[in-house]
Chain A
């Protein structure tokens, strides 16, 4: 029932247009991640949903309730903040209880919910401590607990893990994911960490400059980026984008003159010959000794090598540009800077974009 939808949302700060006619809808039980570069309007969008700031125009619906003009406390939302935002003078129990203070629940129901949240998040032994006496991870748990006790229709998270160290972040990520699977609330989660987005989301909305660039499942976004911005933004290291020109017969030619076989590509509409393209090749899809069915193959000099342990990142000299290729240490371990190396790219992994509009073809 609580389907969250934003309809033609416009948000201006004075003269500055931050969100321009944004539309987005999330289904019940979805885990929506808002992902985008800094300053693209993620927090603004979340604050609008929470009622912490007012829309300039547009409508926000939760289920079939129009919440645009409602007070924050009446929207049946709960939010977890990046800074935890625990009440410093209240104990953990007091923090959870204040979360329910507007709900007019009977006392025993309040106690029951607090006990339930404490149990679920394993913060039972901490109930009588103040926030200052907790570690970062524990504070985060309490903040999540304060959101959970409300049994809100929609849970909002604004970069909740960015203050934690890498290991704790991974743990909390799993835990939030697990909570979502058990309780199945609708979640709107803001982050600029791609890994968080890819692992937790059931839906990702990629934002840029106050617009939604793409909305889809994590696989969609990764496998079939809708435009050049998403292609460049998702994936680490990011996708190689090479200019090419369409030739007759399902072929194209790259800038260095080498052919590109597009015969396995699922075109929306086949572009006429002469069209300028951008070919997107993910570093991790290259093969050193690969299939015969290659879209393209190059023999290039190694400009730079980066070993991460599990992988080897090769930066190859593609004319002036650089082509990034990820390889297994077993295949690339012997390579040195300046060595020539042959790489090929599988036909079925190609991404093609119109060079003019930036859209996927």
Chain B
């Protein structure tokens, strides 16, 4: 019997043991399923409720699918819902958030990339001390410096505008981003920089022509980090934004917490989803590069 199934003479086979599901892996599977449900169930409720009518919601079956799918709650949350005394929906906050996002994104990444490049690849006087300072700054809790920052922005005359919020985002992100860029650039082979210094020698030409094209991975990582944290921020927005320049998160919070009469669950959930969607889109678009970027950063060379 074994003769017939044996491989041709001369080849040596090393049979692999069959993979078998054991108790340990079952335990892991159960745990993972529970974890998945833990996140999926609220999400399911959120999404379905946002498409229901208030009439159906009052019946109370929160797990049922909408009888009639309606975008009314989505439209209302975007266009008409009241937060505080204004009733313009979320669109105001959305625009504010975008207006805060772009300047702070560009400024924080540009400045910290150049600073990180200088610290990593050029001999900067007191670079060691400066790095240590950055390291300390990265761990200072925001609440501690909140009041001084308010005074600073008031004196700059930007308090209560989107520029104050963008400025604070930029400043607060800089220590960590500079450290990230510096550590990434430190691993660029020194000979490449030496060659570039002999070939051209210009700080900016080398940065733009040689270094920046090599930074694709880290730029994606930092981009995603920054978009997510700026978009999801509440505290800075509520502190520095004043009434006219509140980002979407503040807008949402006001809308959900301050309501008179019955709670419009469908509108609240639609609003929550609208606020959460932009970072999600970024994850889906850039997520693949994000993972690659983290992996590339982990391996030297």
**Which chain B residues in 175-217 approach chain A with CB under 8 Å?**
189, 191-192, 194-202, 205, 209-210, 213-214
Q: Of A73, A82, A89, which one neighbours B213 at CB under 8 angstroms?
A: A89
| B contact patch SS | helix
Nearest-Cβ distance from residue B117 to partner chain A, whole angstroms: 15
Beta-carbon contact of B210 and A89 below 8 Å? yes
Q: Of A74, A79, A89, which one neighbours B195 at CB under 8 angstroms?
A: A79
**Provided the pairs A85-B189, A85-B191, A89-B214 are in contact, do residues A52 and B198 lie with their beta carbons within 8 angstroms?**
yes
Beta-carbon contact of A98 and B198 below 8 Å? no
Please, which residue of chain A has its CB at the minimum distance from the CB of B213? A89
The CA-CA distance from A76 to B208 in the complex, in Å, is 23
Number of chain B residues whose Cβ lies closer than 8 Å to a Cβ of chain A = 17
- A291 at interface, CB cutoff 8 A: no
B residues with a Cβ closer than 8 A to A are 189, 191-192, 194-202, 205, 209-210, 213-214
Cβ contacts under 8 Å, B201 to chain A? 71-74, 102
Beta-carbon contact of B200 and A52 below 8 Å? no
Please, which residue of chain A has its CB at the minimum distance from the CB of B192? A85
The residue among B195, B196, B197 with the most chain A CB atoms within 10 A of its own CB is B195
The CA-CA distance from A99 to B205 in the complex, in Å, is 12
The CA-CA distance from A51 to B197 in the complex, in Å, is 9
**Which chain A residues in 333-350 approach chain B with CB under 8 Å?**
none
Cβ contacts under 8 Å, B192 to chain A? 85-88
Beta-carbon contact of B213 and A98 below 8 Å? no
Interchain residue pairs with CB less than 8 A apart (25)? A72-B198, A73-B197, A73-B200, A74-B201, A77-B198, A78-B198, A79-B198, A81-B191, A81-B195, A82-B191, A83-B189, A84-B191, A85-B191, A86-B195, A87-B196, A87-B209, A87-B210, A88-B214, A89-B210, A90-B210, A98-B196, A98-B210, A102-B200, A146-B195, A150-B199
Please, which residue of chain B has its CB at the minimum distance from the CB of A100? B199
Please, which residue of chain A has its CB at the minimum distance from the CB of B212? A89
The CA-CA distance from A86 to B189 in the complex, in Å, is 10
Nearest-Cβ distance from residue A127 to partner chain B, whole angstroms: 18
The residue among B191, B192, B213 with the most chain A CB atoms within 10 A of its own CB is B191
Q: Of A52, A82, A83, A99, which one neighbours B199 at CB under 8 angstroms?
A: A99
- Known contacts A72-B201, A82-B191, A87-B196, then 9 further A-B pairs from the complex at CB < 8 Å, ordered by chain A residue: A50-B194, A79-B198, A87-B192, A89-B214, A98-B199, A98-B210, A101-B199, A102-B199, A102-B202
Cβ contacts under 8 Å, A85 to chain B? 189, 191-192, 194-195
Beta-carbon contact of A81 and B199 below 8 Å? no
The CA-CA distance from A71 to B122 in the complex, in Å, is 14
Nearest-Cβ distance from residue A166 to partner chain B, whole angstroms: 23
Cβ contacts under 8 Å, A89 to chain B? 210, 213-214
Contact with B along A79-123 (1 / 0, CB 8 A): 101111111111000000011011000000000000000000000
The CA-CA distance from A88 to B211 in the complex, in Å, is 10
Nearest-Cβ distance from residue A165 to partner chain B, whole angstroms: 21
The CA-CA distance from A89 to B191 in the complex, in Å, is 15
Cβ contacts under 8 Å, B196 to chain A? 87, 98
